[in-house]
Structure 1
Amino acid sequence: MASPLDLAHSPCPNDTFVFHAWTAGLLPGAPSPKVTIADIDVTNGMAARGELDVLKISYGALPYVLDRYALLPCGGALGHGCGPLLLTRTARAPGDLAGRVVAIPTERSTAYLLFRLWARQVLPGREIRTVVMPFDRIMPAVRDGEVDAGLVIHEARFTFHAYGLHRLVDLGEAWEEQTGLPIPLGAIVARRDLGPERLTAVAEAVRASVRHAWADPEASRDHVQAHAREIAPEVQKQHIELYVNEYTEDLGPDGLAAVRVLLDRAVEAGAVPSFPPGALDPVGAA
């Protein structure tokens, strides 16, 4: 019998919803997973160190691990109208960010990568200072004047008004206007040395877990609730509906094109390391 696979994903509602069926043993014949639930900056670090078999990571971290990990074509987070937001305490123009301090969730997040690409166009040659902090601390820090702006993700899209904050720019909206493609946020990767057969089995398990979650959304409700930072059920529901979509079941041509465009632009900007041709080819495609 094959040993259990070490799997890590975030506590966000979309991930606990997507992976529940697999991790709860509801998929007969699927590889057995041993799950770790940790923030995305932690899973990014785990992947960089090659510690686990299967992980949810930021697309912004993907180029750093492609030598060891392959992209899976399912389970990730892409979509429309779901990008990161740049928030301020008072209404500002984008040019006002020059010389200011912006709080970011992690330097290898897709949110920060989108921010860097946006700033390169909007504020070329202008200095913007950044400070890394846990994403649940960012909105309070902006509200309290500890930083001038904050880069937020996930359920903050639905809750920032409660902090009295202003949206300076929707970075996902800017991306979609430029490319017409979905916004790539989080990727599922698996160790290449698992081999083709096991990599295919992992992809099939992830895809089956997504489909099970859609078919029986109530099955994962308590699991999602137990790990959600934002406990309001309506916010959890909004989060899942926004981030779990057709691209979660399968990247498809548009999803893969979005990933390639994002990372090609990032390489061109010197924001991430280059990678060899074919490194982004997903394994275990449907």
Structure 2
Amino acid sequence: MTTDAHPGPASASAGTPIEIAFSPCPNDTFVFDAWAHGRVPGAPAPAVTFADIDITNGMAERGELDVLKVSYAVLPWVLDEYALLPCGGALGRGCGPLVLSKELGLDLTGRTVAVPSERSTAYLLFRLWAAEMVPGGVGEVVVMPFDEIMPAVRDGKVDAGLVIHEARFTYRNFGLHNLADMGRHWEDTTGLPIPLGAIIAKRSLGEETLRHLADTIRSSVRLAWDHPEVSRPYVQEHAQEMDPAVADQHIGLYVNEFTADLGEDGYAAIRGLLTRAAAEGLVPPLGPDALAFPFSS
């Protein structure tokens, strides 16, 4: 698997740069633009790596880098070393992963399904959904970068694909059908928002630095909201050939009030997902203070 990983701009702040990895998707570049370009006063200098979510999930499990954008589904494996930051991630309503196929109404029993990461929240939501809705079980699960999934379904390399990000807006361009909306199923059965991507930071950085990082990310989000035109070049530079209108839709859906602060509903959604998944034996159980920020008391 390949990754588009390379250093990004750093601020002029003194000190050792904070090593951070996030995706080149519009929501992440929008959120981190101000910090990456030194426009957050007093923020630590970031050394940015761009990487697919499957790569950053693996980085977290290996304890690489200081700050990472990861799937909420990977938290049970990494929270001993990393703390969940209360801001900067992707969580919301009407923004869940979709299962797509060329054939309308395809029965997924025994079918090959492409997914963006075996430790992704999308795949965890899919497994919870399939346990209820595909009692015969799906067939082979193939992991591939999220931007390769729709072409693979279109070209018949796999029977169906679990997609995230802007695929929600573009799948019809590939002649594909929406078989099921994982987020809608989650919201209908729980009433909670959908937890997708988390921002985590190493506990070894210390409480003061963790709080500073959270404040920095919140400031970066608010600056992006206040001056969206300033972030546009950074967003488009890393969005490859994405239509700017689609990039704007992407940002509008995935950057919301939960990005600025998880709040009670956000934490309830995260714990609800991981508690349910643990009950199904899909992830290790969380400790009672595992999500506490910055440290459990």
Short-chain TM bin: over 0.9
Alpha-carbon distance in 2 for matches of 1:89, 1:125 = 21
Alignment match, 2:240: 229
> Which among 198, 202, 205 is matched to residue 187 of structure 1?
198
> Which among 14, 23, 39 is matched to residue 10 of structure 1?
23
SS at match of 1:97: coil
Matched, 1:57 2:70: yes
Question: CA-to-partner distance for each residue in 1:45-85, whole Å, 9 max, x for gaps?
Answer: 11111111111001111111011000000000001100000
Alpha-carbon distance in 1 for matches of 2:147, 2:15 = 38
Structure 1 residue runs without a partner (length 5+): none
Matched, 1:47 2:53: no
How many residues get paired?
282
> Which among 168, 173, 177 is matched to residue 166 of structure 1?
177
Alpha-carbon distance in 2 for matches of 1:242, 1:265 = 25
Structure 2 residue runs without a partner (length 5+): 1-13
Alignment match, 2:8: none
Greater Cα offset, 115-124 or 248-257: 115-124
Matched letter for residue 268 of structure 1 = A
- Aligned-residue Cα RMSD (Å) equals 1.2
Question: CA-to-partner distance for each residue in 1:143-180, whole Å, 9 max, x for gaps?
Answer: 11111110000000000001111100010011110111
Matched letter for residue 130 of structure 1 = V
Q: TM-score, normalised by structure 1?
A: 0.96
SS at match of 2:79: coil
Matched, 1:147 2:158: yes
Matched, 1:255 2:261: no
Matched letter for residue 262 of structure 2 = L
Shift of 1:230: 4.5
Higher relative contact order (CA 8 A, sep 6+): 1
Alpha-carbon distance in 2 for matches of 1:15, 1:126 = 34
> Which among 237, 240, 260 is matched to residue 251 of structure 2?
240
SS at match of 1:270: coil
Alpha-carbon distance in 1 for matches of 2:179, 2:98 = 8
> Which among 212, 222, 227 is matched to residue 201 of structure 1?
212
Shift of 1:125: 5.3
Matched letter for residue 208 of structure 1 = S
Matched letter for residue 88 of structure 1 = S
Shift of 1:34: 1.1
Alignment match, 1:138: 149
Alignment match, 2:117: 106
Instruction: Report % sequence identity.
Output: 64
Alpha-carbon distance in 2 for matches of 1:123, 1:229 = 36
Alignment match, 2:221: 210
> Which among 280, 283, 294 is matched to residue 269 of structure 1?
280
SS at match of 1:107: coil
Q: TM-score, normalised by structure 2?
A: 0.92
